[in-house]
Amino acid sequence: MGTLTPKERVLAAFNFRETDIVPYDVPIEPEVEERLNEHYGGTAWEKMLQKHFVSVAFPSEMEFVDENCFRDEYDCIWDTRGLPLHLAESPLKEPSLKDYDFDRVTRKTLDMFHDASARAICEDNQDKFVLGYVGSSLFETSWKLRGFENALIDCIQNPSFYEELLDHILELQLAMVDKVCELPVDAVFLGDDWGDQRGIIMGPERWRRFLKPRFKKLFDRAHRAGKMVMMHCCGNAFEVIPDTIEIGLDVLESLQPEAMDIYEIKRRYGKNLRLWGGLGTQQVLPFGTPERIRKEIRRLISEMGKGGGYILAPAKPLMKEVPTENAVAVIEEFSQQS
């Protein structure tokens, strides 16, 4: 192990300094953990890895309406028969907020946050980098409330309504940011999947109109509280990366290599934006050989880790599609840094 604590290592990397090892994060789904336990004959493999991050988060309400579906705090109904969860019903059937009570949603959301438990996590992990996870942000919440197709139609046919909807979501999110910033967290973590494999789902110009100014307000609120801002975004967000830097994003997380040239992102923007992820969960981890995976991890460490500003991680957790031998390659290659 290095002489730095996990938190010191992350902070140094986020200050664009190379460290004794490149800090990393390895989220693993339960089925893969079970197979790793079987492979190693127990849980001793977990000690091969250093834990650099912990998080505190807003829980989601799960009021089951039948054996397959639950209602969340936004009154969205989700079908649990399969992963990811399927949005079965949205509360806003029409482009109108007339009968929707955002104040009630805000009260419920803030009341669900377990402040004492969150503080205990922060207190018990002072040597880790602590993330205050706010959850799905502006775009994702808008399509959950309206349905995916309707939200995209609103962008074009009902832009005034869509901006009104986003402003209400923004106020809720600002309250959530304020809540986590009361805690001794190191960064506010937001999640909003703007991209598909090809580019920005609503198009970069609409992204700049609808989302960019509102995200600036969220980023500014966190920065005023002395916190960094991290953003999870799946898919291809390449076109708007300069915009995210302009409005103050500190860390971009996920970095799907199947959707973007992550090494080009490092070359162009790696001095101004910290990067997290990049090990492909869509192709490399489920379908590559262990040798290919080891080679790619070493390249990520060498090229993405150069000059600091990088967290080594898979673009998604190690999912059940990842063969055991490939998961073992990840664990052993990550742990060889330690």
Mean pLDDT computed over every residue of the chain? 96
Write down the pLDDT at residue 337: 67
Give yes or no for a contact between 318 and 302, defined as CB atoms under 8 angstroms apart: no
* pLDDT single digits (tens) 293-304: 999 999 999 999
* pLDDT single digits (tens) 246-274: 999 999 999 999 999 999 999 999 999 99
- Residue 83 in any domain: the answer is no
Q: Which is it for the CA torsion 70, 75, 79, 80, positive or negative?
A: negative
- Residue 73 in any domain: the answer is no
Write down the pLDDT at residue 1: 44
- Residue 142 in any domain: the answer is yes
- Residue 165 in any domain: the answer is yes
- Residue 40's domain is classified under what CATH number? 3.20.20.210
Give yes or no for a contact between 155 and 147, defined as CB atoms under 8 angstroms apart: no
- Residue 325 in any domain: the answer is yes
Give mean pLDDT, residues 61-83.
Answer: 94
Domain count, the chain: 1
Is residue 60 over pLDDT 50? yes
Q: For residue 124, give its domain range.
A: 6-60+102-335
pLDDT band at 62 (very low <50, low <70, confident <90, very high): very high
- Taking each continuous run of H as one helix and of E as one strand, the counts in the chain are 14, 11
Beta-carbon contacts of 174 under 8 Å, excluding residues fewer than 6 positions away, are 217, 218, 221
Write down the pLDDT at residue 135: 87
- Residue 298 in any domain: the answer is yes
Give mean pLDDT, residues 74-86.
Answer: 93
- Residue 320 in any domain: the answer is yes
- Residue 68 in any domain: the answer is no
* pLDDT single digits (tens) 156-212: 999 999 999 999 999 999 999 999 999 999 999 999 999 999 999 999 999 999 999
